[in-house]
Structure 1
Amino acid sequence: MKRLKNTTADLRGRLPLWLAVSGAVLPVLAGPAGAQDLPAPAAEVPATVQLDTVVVTATGQAQALPDAPATMTVIRGEDIAKRPYASITDVLKTVPGVVLNSAGSKTGLPSISMRGMGSGYVLMLVDGKPVGNSTEATYNGFGGGQAESYLPPPSAIDRIEVIRGPMSSLYGTAASGGVINVITKPVDSVWSGEMTLGATTHEDNDSGSSHEGRFYLSGPLIADRLGLSLFGSLHEREGDRNYAGGSDGYQVYDNTRKSLGARLAWSIDDDQKLTFEHVVTDNSSSRTSEEDGGEGGIDIDRKNSSVTHDLSWGAGYETTTFVNHEDVDFINGDNASGYKQLNINSKTARTFGRHDLVLGFDYRDEETRHAPDRIPEDVDPVMTRSQWAVFAEDSFHVTDDLTVTMGLRYDDNERYGSHVTPRLYGVWHVSERFTLKGGVSGGYKVPQLKQADSNIYEPAGRGRGWDQGNTALEPEESTNFEIGAVWEGETGLQLGLTAYHTRFTNKIDRDRICEGPEGSTGCRGREYISQYVNRDEAELNGIEATADYAFGDFELGANYTYSDSKITKGPGEGEGFNDLPRHVLNLSLDWYATDALMVWGNAQYRSATRDEATETGHVGEHAILDLGVDYDFNDRVSGTLAVYNVADKSFDNGYSDGRRLYLGLTSSF
């Protein structure tokens, strides 16, 4: 657990070109960056010291974090290993601008919101390859948090790059709120592995206990030519006794999440490499009503296969091409639905003097399969849509201290036609310790397949209502402004401040178009119908502030997020369009008591959220404190003991846990 002192080095202007994301077949086409050729960090660096970190997500090629044309947070694999994280969402919950929300998720899995925008605005990537939109296959709250559950287990992660703010000019419609790129560990040159076992027990018997296991194994099959990585996880949680709204009884939910993946990396020669990967995920939940003994449950299966080709060619060109296929099946009793996505993507990066250029191409084909009872008999239950795009970015180093990034993306959707999304961003290193960043970018988001068809009715509100699609729904557009500053002191203090403003046109939302008294059936046999609509205009404003300080054997971190949304024109004018907390404050303190012992604490304050449909509190104002101890028994075995929600803060929404104890052991070789 020994901490290394700050060895921050300015890599600006001195990154070798081969660190740019490499390899593929098409020399002038492009795709999101992977991480297979980036070297793993050589030594542990505190989470608060990030200025020497190399990132790839902001432009599609490698660069030092201070030069990245975006507001970014990087979480190193070494820092992830310090905490008993069961999933990626646990890792991300203290990132500025990120809010986890479990309310409304029938499986209890938290979904990620970023800068006041829900999970549908946040693009999830694994090694630069997109995770599909699982909510297309699910309904009635069962899709909440599913995409996040498809991400690799923490033991397989090299680092996580989080971009807050739109990246539609580089990554397309799914990235209109931000990007989370989970970069896995490269295949090791010697056999190594890690296994973690953990268990959580709750003080309150109404909350189910859980246990988990995960592993990572990597090494060469043929030295310097062929390598294999295997990784997997299992998380089982006993049933929660959550109040079933409107009923006198309770329901018990059980959840099991399983994931298994394999990656085969073949270095064909010194200039090209092929990587094959296959991951299967199963997420099942069941419930039993104590009132009538009735049973129910869901099963969500996902298969993902990909092949990536990295190629270095010509005078410094680096090309990466991948083909990624995803298939999600959703079974809820007698109802079955599903979602497929095929993504072909290629990108080439090259430096010309003071210009770092990226050119790319992207093709995506989607298919949604619906349960027959969700649509009229004369409507095809299979919906398809395809789109393609070309994009380009130029990072122009005007001087050694000033870089201006210009990006442009052209999308062509078979239903919505063409659209151009621009980006302009500047990074100015005013001095060795002070950096200014800021820019303006476009956001573009096309409706989901099920949102854009009036024949589709999703069950909603525990079966009390319907969410109806809308054939007249138009794509959502936004213009986004941000400005930020970072200052790093000589004594280990680092401060950051970012302000952002987003203007929406045709903001996608929902309106009640039919509503009756409780228990009525006048709206297509149910109590109400909500339909997807476009709001004329809306805006989102926010501030993110960070402070990190390393002193002696201590590391102190704090960040604050303010977010406020408002419909500014049309129906609902003056109302907010989300039910996220306006204020979030995170505090953390790590004490490296000895080389083997670390004591840590995290505290989070969240202001109350509001359900805009009922104008009532959704989750009240609260603060939660977590405390833990990590101990290295030797070079191969470490343990964690943690108490979460120390003050046993309770909630009325039935989705949050009280005080609980975690015990975990990790062994590595």
Structure 2
Amino acid sequence: MVSQAHIRTSGFNNTTRLKKLAAKLFMTTALVGTSMVVLSPVSAVAQGAASQVSAEKQFNIQAQPLANALNSFGRQAGLQISLASAVTQGLSSQSVNGSFTPSVALSRLLKGTNLSFDISPEGTVFITGEQQSTAVGEAVASDAITLDMITVTAGGFAQSVVEAPASVTVIPREELEKKPYRSLIDAVRHVEGVTMIGGDNGDISIRGMPGSGTLILVDGRRQNSTRELNPKSGNSVEDNWMPPIGAVERIEVVRGPMSSRYGSDAMGGVINIITRKVADKWTGSLGADMTVQGNSHSGNSQQGDFYLNGPLIADTLGLQVWGYKKLRDEDEIIGGFNKEDNLNGTARLWFTPTENHDFMLEAHRSRQRYWAEPGMSIKPADKEFERDYKRESYTFAHTGRWDLGTSQFSYIYDEASRDALTAGEPDRWMPSVTNHTIDGSFVAPVGESHMVSIGGQWRRQKLDIGGMRNGQLPPLPDGTPATGQLVAEVDQWALFVEDEWRVFDSFALTGGVRYDNNSIFGDQLSPRLYANWQPTENWAIKGGVATGFIAPTLKEYVPYIGNGQRGGATTWGNPELKPETSVNKEIGIYYDNLDNFTANATYFHTTYKNKIANSGSRCLNAPNGQPSNSDGCWTGADGRPMSVYFNVPEAVIQGVELAARWGITDDVALSGTYTYTKSNMKTAGIDIYGFPLGQADGLAPVATPRHVVSAKLDWQAHEDLGTYVRVNYRSKDNQGVNWGGGSKPMNESAGDLLTFDAGLSWQVNEHFTVNAAVYNITNKTNYNPDRTNSYQYIEDGRRFWLGARTSF
């Protein structure tokens, strides 16, 4: 009930002011003096990576095809292996059994193969043939990017993408540097299974799930903590909290539920941004780029970023600092992009007192500001408005390498706020959210065939509504007037355990379960079971069953919190809401000819229950004794039309994901992805205060495209010059539901779209690179300015991008 949410009112609070003052002082001290940092379950100092190589480990690797043996070695050593699949073709390994340093174990494994290896300061093992030239070595490194990437998100420890207990795509920094990277949407838009809800200004959807089901991490740390501030409850705000490209090592996209490991919000999948490790020598980069629109009514954009990384005390103390500034002009299109100004800064300090222990501190501050003027991106009759999002976070973390295994611990404090100002209106919605999060995990081999992960999490979230419709709040349950600032809190804790059982060398079974306890919604159990079989060195088959859930946000649950709708209604929280849940089944097949061709195909089927939606501006019948307006529509405590959150009983989502890469020659490669998604809801016979949900029966819970295709042709025209062309196709959306469109029809969808891109990357010298591209060459868009009352979203037409980056 409401009391469980710890709702209270408070006026001016000196303690709160002192806490905020202390936090700001801490931020300044950290940035100037101690340069603080964030832990991830996957990030470690270069010194720590070196200890991974020098410390003895237990190895149990049988003689077998070398590619399989190296996968086992990487898993048991906890190191990333980089090589081209062709290097291992036709080769077999020696057996390695016993306690050795990774260097000794790898030397024994490669004995008789004529292969050599080198270990980078960051802990990556590069394997090459003796006769390889520098150019070929560069090709190997590039090939490794797409063929043999390592992931840590799916299992909690280093594994190859094929061995991981989930469907995973890895995007390396080298690929990101070749295109505009204004937000996370730009980074993941071409990944199979990933679509955008509402176009480039919307949410990231994985496998047809809503944006709220995509958990976004940076080094394993949640970014979704600010979702309470987003009126749409999606991830469009979190997309822009991302680190600059210079700080990114790779991005891992896990498709399918991961609640068994990460809890709420990971129902559709997980996007984990892995940042670069601190180096043993000073390195850095500066980047700048701009996009010029071919259409005068679309806004131009520009951005700049920096990254600095190196030791303060050799082998003991390391520092990382990064930041960016992003600007975009306002569109002259109703419903288009607002004027935008984003700023981000982060500092990390790494302390490694011994080779087996890393301590990390981080301070982070970012701000997103948006403006809209009448007649520009909003209608001439609308009022000018400004939206200002701010976020600060501080992290302490520890990584320990013990005889039994590896431990991770972190404490994260973050606070964020949203200030919404509308010209001529005294009411201001200024919510803020504060989060305290403690995470811990331990990963260890057990016996010769088990890798066990255990862990837990505690989180406390407080939502302060701040000035929400002052003087118009309903009284509290005891009759006390609700004045001042309304506050709601929720606590939750969780425990999880997972085991990868290597039944035999080519077959692994991963099982896990997570128990979540929420102070409002109670208990939630999220199990998963996943199998991975590699019958030959060319083929792999994997699949399983996983469950997911999304707990309602405080603004969706607490009845005293109102969220304004564009049609003039206010949606109030509903304490009767249930968490969203899902059961996902998938099976995938992977092929690698160990030369120049890889491909994978996955089928998934999801049963999705209790989707949370709201009635928007549709007219609801007032219950007995409740007020209504002259149109007979139920009105809320603020005198505006009443809107409610509710659960949609059930939906079924299924689809197919395809991806392939063909190295046609040493210089030419063709790659592509395809996603098919079909979904429908079961709402027949359901009525919400006179709003018949039966109209939505058979429609999609989220308006995602039925078909999405992306194909890219890369040509390395010269040693220093790479070019590409890309074709993108998005079919007409699945018939999505316009829940709250007033008099608009419920079954609306956007049309199909075919676009073409072309670009190049010129390595001017060792330290300087120039990138350029033309996007949407044929200037194709779906937007019709005469249909502003219809469902459509804004997309940029033809545009020209130029970027430059220098590094040292």
- TM-score of the superposed pair, with normalisation by structure 1: 0.90
Counterpart of 1:388, as a letter, is: W
Which of 117, 125, 129 is residue 217 of structure 2 equivalent to? 125
State the secondary structure of the residue aligned to 2:330: strand
Contact 2:456 2:494 in 1 (8 A): yes
1:258-657 counterparts in 2 under 5 A?
Answer: 258-290=343-375, 291=380, 294-313=383-402, 315-333=403-421, 334-352=428-446, 353-374=448-469, 376-379=473-476, 381-461=486-566, 463-511=567-615, 514-515=618-619, 522-524=633-635, 529-552=642-665, 553-568=667-682, 570=684, 571=686, 572=694, 573-609=697-733, 610-613=735-738, 614-615=745-746, 617-652=748-783, 653=792, 655-657=794-796
Moved more, 448-457 or 179-188: 448-457
Report how far residue 617 of structure 1 moved. Answer: 4.0
* Distance in 2 between residues matched to 1:660 and 1:519, nearest whole Å: 49
State the secondary structure of the residue aligned to 1:14: helix
Which of 250, 262, 265 is residue 159 of structure 1 equivalent to? 250
Counterpart of 2:502, as a letter, is: H
Counterpart of 2:463, as a letter, is: T
Contact 1:200 1:661 in 2 (8 A): yes
Return closer, same or farther for 1:8/1:305 CA change in 2, 3 Å cut-off: farther
* Distance in 2 between residues matched to 1:264 and 1:554, nearest whole Å: 42
Contact 1:221 1:227 in 2 (8 A): yes
Q: Which residue of structure 1 lines up, in the alignment, with residue 339 of structure 2?
A: 254
Per-residue CA shift, 1:359-385, capped at 9, x if unaligned? 101111111111443572435621110
* Distance in 1 between residues matched to 2:653 and 2:177, nearest whole Å: 35
Contact 1:88 1:153 in 2 (8 A): no
Report how far residue 209 of structure 1 moved. Answer: 0.8
Per-residue CA shift, 1:590-609, capped at 9, x if unaligned? 11101111111222111122
Contact 2:716 2:722 in 1 (8 A): yes
Report how far residue 54 of structure 1 moved. Answer: 2.1
Report how far residue 438 of structure 1 moved. Answer: 0.5
Aligned residues: 636
CA RMSD of aligned residues (A): 2.6
Return closer, same or farther for 1:513/1:622 CA change in 2, 3 Å cut-off: closer
Contact 2:68 2:537 in 1 (8 A): no
Contact 2:210 2:234 in 1 (8 A): no
Per-residue CA shift, 1:48-85, capped at 9, x if unaligned? 85442222111111122221000000111222223332
Per-residue CA shift, 1:383-441, capped at 9, x if unaligned? 11011011000000000000000101111111111122111000000110000000011
Contact 2:633 2:642 in 1 (8 A): no
* Distance in 2 between residues matched to 1:338 and 1:126, nearest whole Å: 21
Contact 1:512 1:528 in 2 (8 A): no
Counterpart of 1:568, as a letter, is: K
Contact 2:197 2:702 in 1 (8 A): no
* Distance in 1 between residues matched to 2:806 and 2:203, nearest whole Å: 30
Report how far residue 507 of structure 1 moved. Answer: 2.8
* Distance in 1 between residues matched to 2:203 and 2:286, nearest whole Å: 26
1:140-219 counterparts in 2 under 5 A?
Answer: 141=232, 145-219=236-310
* Distance in 2 between residues matched to 1:183 and 1:466, nearest whole Å: 39
Counterpart of 2:671, as a letter, is: G
Return closer, same or farther for 1:47/1:304 CA change in 2, 3 Å cut-off: farther
State the secondary structure of the residue aligned to 1:389: strand
Stretches of structure 2 lacking an aligned partner (at least 5 in a row) = 1-65, 81-119, 127-137, 422-427, 477-481, 622-628, 687-693, 739-744, 784-791
Report how far residue 531 of structure 1 moved. Answer: 2.3
State the secondary structure of the residue aligned to 2:175: helix
Counterpart of 1:445, as a letter, is: I
**Residue 228 (1) aligns with residue 319 (2):** yes
Return closer, same or farther for 1:347/1:179 CA change in 2, 3 Å cut-off: same
Return closer, same or farther for 1:370/1:40 CA change in 2, 3 Å cut-off: farther
Return closer, same or farther for 1:143/1:612 CA change in 2, 3 Å cut-off: closer
Per-residue CA shift, 1:564-588, capped at 9, x if unaligned? 1211355333222111111111111
Report how far residue 118 of structure 1 moved. Answer: 1.9
* Distance in 1 between residues matched to 2:761 and 2:323, nearest whole Å: 23
The percentage of counterpart residues that share the same residue type is: 30
Counterpart of 2:653, as a letter, is: L
Q: Relative CO higher for 1 or 2, CA cutoff 8 Å, sep ≥ 6?
A: 1
Which of 166, 171, 177 is residue 81 of structure 1 equivalent to? 177
Counterpart of 1:278, as a letter, is: A
Report how far residue 545 of structure 1 moved. Answer: 1.1
Counterpart of 2:732, as a letter, is: A
Return closer, same or farther for 1:519/1:183 CA change in 2, 3 Å cut-off: farther
State the secondary structure of the residue aligned to 2:148: coil
Q: Would you tell me which structure has more helix in proportion to its own residues? A: 2
Q: Which residue of structure 2 lines up, in the alignment, with residue 668 of structure 1?
A: 807
* Distance in 1 between residues matched to 2:261 and 2:242, nearest whole Å: 21
Q: Which residue of structure 2 lines up, in the alignment, with residue 53 of structure 1?
A: 149
Q: Which residue of structure 2 lines up, in the alignment, with residue 115 of structure 1?
A: 207
Contact 1:554 1:592 in 2 (8 A): yes
State the secondary structure of the residue aligned to 1:304: strand
Report how far residue 15 of structure 1 moved. Answer: 2.5
- TM-score of the superposed pair, with normalisation by structure 2: 0.75
